[in-house]
Structures are given as structure tokens and as C-alpha cells.
């Protein structure tokens, strides 16, 4: 309790007051922008969302003191990926994500039942009313979710379920308030630092989006290209948009940020990207042979370990098992431990794991 110096009265700390009454802060919905989803190339994507249920969840989620906004952690999953989802969520919660911040979009009843069994909020996306199931359609639904949450003025970290979180990463994400989007890139080699003068393609499997007019405009532009053409890869379209339709107007090597400008809907928008540290946020694609799937290259990880020592980083924030195919993905997600996983542990795990054998051409 805090005592008033003037009157000698006791009051709870301001942080307690903030937490106690934060649910009274109503969600401000950008209704005009949300209406865009009602007709994307003739498709009513908004009809896929249980709006009342989602709004109730958002209004009761935690407001971050650092930003004054709610921060939501979300992914989309089906019964085929429940095992990877379980490890992904368990590791995130262990490293500081609150259960009441997590929202899962389920593609089937089995995923709903799984989330209920671990007390995680889950909402069904009845996509079958509009789409046939495909790998491409699941990608399109991701952008719809990200845009939907941005229209409710909440920060959103959207992540693929083949990520194992190995350290507390929230404070790091919240330390870049001037950035609209924080994202990983994809490179076939380990690096000590991001070089903003020579950007790689982006990997959208880990994407932190701040709800701004610019980010919402980018998602409208992105979805306008995707919807109506079934077999378009979401990450491919995103990178095409960033490379060919957005102009870089500033680079900051110290901040590891790039500022883009693009034109859409008769208006010019500006937004800043922060590319996360490749030593802390490990993309497994950087550890494999350039030509051969999941074949682990020990020398590459040893270079990564050297970079970590030089930067005095003891543990990575996560490993994203992008580029790992089929049963290998499920097996490695099952094996990986997240409570005390440093670089030495990961090196031993990956070195002893039965990856797809590499055959020299």
C-alpha cells in the first residue's frame, strides 16, 4: 500500500489500480477498415470470425504498461499440429507469456478440445463455408487474423506453431516502440548481426504487428492480392510486395530497422520494420545445407555459437523449425527441452538427432 503524505491515507500502488480496472478500457474498433473484410474480391472473410467471442476475450486481456495497448499472442492450428502446438505454447508460457494473452484459431474440433484441456482460449474458424482446405488457404487465413486484430487496436505477435521458445522475449519486443512491425528474415547462413544494407527475404512465421493505419493498409494490400487466387503463397506475396511495391526511405544499422514507404488507396503510407537478432531468434533454415532439406551442418551451428559468445548471449529466444519437413518436424519438437536450453544443449540435440541424410551431388 502507498500512504498519502498529505492525508495519511493508504492507497494501492498505481500498477495494482491499472491491473484491477484495465478490463474497463473498451476496445476501440476501426469499423470502417474492418468492413474491408466483408468483401475481399467477392469473399466475405469477416464471416469466418466469431466477433462477439473474440471481442470479449480481447477486452479481458492484459494491457501492457509499456504501450497502453493489449498484446495478443496467436497462431492458427489444426489437429495435425496439436503436438507441435502443445510444445510451442508450453514453452511460451514458461518464458513469461500469460495464458490470458493467448488466442488460438482452430481449424477443427479436435484443436478446440485440446485448447480447452490446457485452459487456452480458442475460437473456431469455419473456413469450410468459403474455402476448401489447402496449405495455401491456411496461409491466407493468417493475414485475415492479423488484420482483424489490428482493426481492434491490439498489438499482435503471430507465430507458427513449429517454434520452441527458449527464453523470455517479451521485454525485447516491447523495447522498439517506434517500429510498426518486428519480424525475422531468412538466410541460409548464420550471422552475427542483421545487415540492413543487404536485406534477405522475410520469414512471416514470427511477426509482431503494431495496430497503425500503415500496417492495416499493408495488410489490405497484401490480402487483396491473395484472396480470389487460391494457390498463392502468403510469404511469397508478402516479400514481393515489400521488394517491388515498397520503397526504402531510411535504414538504421544500430536499431536494425528499415523504413518503408508505399502507395495504396490514393494515399502514401510510411512504416518501420525491426528485424530481430539472428543469434537470439534462430531460424533453422540457416543451419542446413543450401540444397538439401533438413540436413544439419554442425559447422554452421558452431559459427552461431561463436557469435553468441562474442555478443555475450547465453540463451537464444527461440528456435523456429522452418525448413524442417514431415515427421522430422514433429520429432524434433517433441524432443526439444525449453526450461534451460542454451547453445551447447542445442548443438548436442541437433548433432545427435536423426535428420534426413545429406547426399552430395
pLDDT at 237: 94
3-state secondary structure at position 230 = coil
Phi, psi of 119 (to 5 degrees): 60, 45
281 forms beta bridges with 318
pLDDT at 291: 58
Contact between 118 and 106 under an 8 Å Cβ cutoff? The reply is no
Q: What is the DSSP string of 245-297?
A: IEEEEEEETTTTEEEEEEEETTEEEEEEEEEPPTTTEEEGGGGB-SSSTT-B-
pLDDT at 21: 41
Neighbours of 267 (CB within 10 A): 10
Burial of residue 2, with CB atoms counted within 10 A of its CB: 0-12 exposed, 13-18 middle, 19 or more buried? exposed
Give the chain's largest Cα–Cα span: 82
pLDDT at 114: 98
269 forms beta bridges with 262
Distances (CA, A) of 329 to 326, 332, 334: 6, 5, 9
How many whole angstroms separate alpha carbon 280 and alpha carbon 192? Answer: 10
Where helices occur in 8-102 by DSSP H, the ranges are 14-21, 31-34, 51-59, 82-94
pLDDT at 356: 66
Q: Average pLDDT of the chain? A: 90
How many whole angstroms separate alpha carbon 224 and alpha carbon 131? Answer: 16
- Give the predicted TM-score (pTM) of the model: 0.90
Distances (CA, A) of 89 to 259, 298, 303: 32, 28, 29
pLDDT at 20: 39
Cell of 142: 493468417
Phi, psi of 36 (to 5 degrees): -50, -35
For residue 25, which of 66, 61, 59 has the smallest C-alpha distance? Answer: 59
How many whole angstroms separate alpha carbon 170 and alpha carbon 71? Answer: 10
Neighbours of 250 (CB within 10 A): 12
Write out residues in the chain with pLDDT < 70, as ranges.
Answer: 1-24, 290-294, 356-361
How many whole angstroms separate alpha carbon 315 and alpha carbon 344? Answer: 9
pLDDT at 295: 78
Contact between 155 and 185 under an 8 Å Cβ cutoff? The reply is no
318 forms beta bridges with 165, 281
Phi, psi of 269 (to 5 degrees): -120, 150
How many whole angstroms separate alpha carbon 25 and alpha carbon 59? Answer: 7
For residue 223, which of 320, 308, 299, 151 has the smallest C-alpha distance? Answer: 151
pLDDT at 94: 98
pLDDT at 355: 82
Q: What's the pLDDT tens digit per position in 31-70?
A: 999 999 999 999 999 999 999 999 999 999 989 999 999 9
Q: Which domains does the chain have, with CATH numbers?
A: 21-281 (3.90.550)
How many whole angstroms separate alpha carbon 152 and alpha carbon 28? Answer: 6
pLDDT at 271: 98
How many whole angstroms separate alpha carbon 127 and alpha carbon 44? Answer: 11
pLDDT at 59: 95
- Please tell me the number of Cα atoms within 13 Å of 51 on its side-chain side: 13
Q: What's the pLDDT tens digit per position in 119-178?
A: 999 999 988 888 877 778 888 999 999 999 999 999 999 999 999 999 999 989 999 999
Cell of 274: 525491426
Contact between 145 and 71 under an 8 Å Cβ cutoff? The reply is no
How many whole angstroms separate alpha carbon 170 and alpha carbon 66? Answer: 11
Amino acid at each position: 500500500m502507498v500512504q498519502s503524505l498529505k492525508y495519511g491515507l493508504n492507497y494501492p500502488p498505481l500498477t495494482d489500480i491499472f491491473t484491477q480496472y484495465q478490463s474497463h478500457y473498451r476496445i476501440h474498433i476501426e469499423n470502417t477498415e474492418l468492413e474491408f473484410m466483408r468483401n475481399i474480391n467477392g469473399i466475405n472473410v469477416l464471416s469466418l470470425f466469431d466477433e462477439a467471442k473474440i471481442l470479449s476475450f480481447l477486452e479481458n486481456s492484459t494491457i501492457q504498461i509499456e504501450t497502453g495497448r493489449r498484446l495478443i499472442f496467436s497462431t492458427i492450428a489444426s489437429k495435425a499440429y496439436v503436438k507441435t502446438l502443445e510444445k510451442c505454447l508450453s514453452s511460451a508460457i514458461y518464458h513469461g507469456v500469460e495464458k490470458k494473452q493467448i488466442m488460438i484459431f482452430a481449424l477443427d474440433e479436435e484443436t478446440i478440445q485440446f485448447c480447452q484441456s490446457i485452459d487456452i482460449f480458442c475460437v473456431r474458424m469455419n473456413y469450410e463455408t468459403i474455402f476448401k482446405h489447402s496449405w495455401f488457404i491456411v496461409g491466407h487465413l493468417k493475414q485475415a487474423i492479423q488484420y482483424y486484430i489490428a482493426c481492434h487496436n491490439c498489438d499482435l505477435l503471430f507465430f507458427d506453431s513449429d517454434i520452441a521458445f527458449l527464453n523470455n522475449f517479451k521485454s525485447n519486443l516491447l523495447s522498439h516502440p517506434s517500429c510498426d512491425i518486428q519480424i525475422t528474415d531468412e538466410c541460409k547462413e548464420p550471422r552475427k548481426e542483421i545487415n540492413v544494407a543487404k536485406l534477405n527475404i522475410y520469414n512471416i512465421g514470427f511477426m509482431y504487428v503494431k495496430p497503425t493505419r500503415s500496417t492495416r493498409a499493408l495488410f489490405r494490400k497484401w490480402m487483396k492480392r491473395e484472396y480470389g487466387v487460391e494457390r498463392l503463397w502468403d510469404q511469397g506475396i508478402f516479400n514481393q510486395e515489400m521488394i517491388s511495391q515498397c520503397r526504402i526511405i531510411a535504414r538504421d544499422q544500430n536499431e536494425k530497422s528499415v523504413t518503408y514507404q508505399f502507395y495504396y488507396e490514393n494515399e502514401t503510407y510510411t512504416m518501420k520494420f525491426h528485424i530481430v537478432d539472428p543469434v537470439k531468434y534462430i531460424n533453422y533454415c540457416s543451419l542446413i545445407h543450401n540444397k538439401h532439406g533438413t540436413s544439419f551442418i554442425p559447422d554452421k551451428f558452431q559459427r552461431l555459437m561463436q557469435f553468441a559468445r562474442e555478443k555475450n548471449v547465453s540463451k537464444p529466444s527461440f528456435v523456429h523449425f522452418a525448413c524442417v519437413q514431415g515427421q522430422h518436424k514433429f520429432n524434433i519438437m517433441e524432443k526439444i527441452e525449453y526450461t534451460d536450453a542454451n547453445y551447447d544443449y542445442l548443438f548436442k540435440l541437433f548433432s545427435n538427432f536423426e535428420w534426413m541424410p545429406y547426399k552430395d551431388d
